[in-house]
Amino acid sequence: MKKLVLFFILCLIMVGCEKQIISEGYPEMEAFYTESCTLPAVTLDSVKSFSVKFGNYVTKYPQSKSHSLYPKIQENIKSASLRITIECDTTWDGETHINF
């Protein structure tokens, strides 16, 4: 009887540890996170390309969404996608007078 109880407890422990191994078991996520940290320095086309590549990976491996780096990568993509660049031409061709 003691062996049966011990076996049952051991099975519960193994099942409890399995989820942690599965959720952190995607080494590609670390590479995606490292690449996502450099997104603000690249063009918007490169951000779009990375987003598609990451989306394809997550579609292929849906359990990778439970990885601890997934929300950080998503946030990096969002922040790199929302950019506003304003450039002003500081050279003047002369004055323009408008009379009414």
Residue 90 placed within a domain = no
Please check whether residue 76 is in contact with residue 36, taking contact to mean a CB–CB distance below 8 angstroms. yes
Residue 8 placed within a domain = no
Mean pLDDT, range 88-95, rounded to an integer: 70
Residue 65 placed within a domain = yes
Residue tagged 């951000």 (tokens): 47
Residue 77 placed within a domain = yes
Residue 14 placed within a domain = no
The count of domains in the chain is 1
Please check whether residue 32 is in contact with residue 69, taking contact to mean a CB–CB distance below 8 angstroms. yes
By residue range, what is the domain housing residue 64?
A: 26-83
Residue 53 placed within a domain = yes
pLDDT confidence tier of residue 6, bands split at 50, 70 and 90: low
Residue 3 placed within a domain = no
Residue 96 placed within a domain = no
Which of 56, 62, 54, 4 lies closest to 29 in space, CA to CA?
54
pLDDT confidence tier of residue 31, bands split at 50, 70 and 90: very high
Q: What is the pLDDT of residue 25?
A: 75
How far apart (Å, rounded) are the C-alpha atoms in residues 52 and 24?
Answer: 22
The residue that leads in pLDDT, 6 or 76, is: 76
Does the pLDDT at position 20 exceed 60?
no
Q: Burial level of 57, CB count in 10 A (0-12/13-18/19+)?
A: middle
How far apart (Å, rounded) are the C-alpha atoms in residues 24 and 45?
Answer: 30
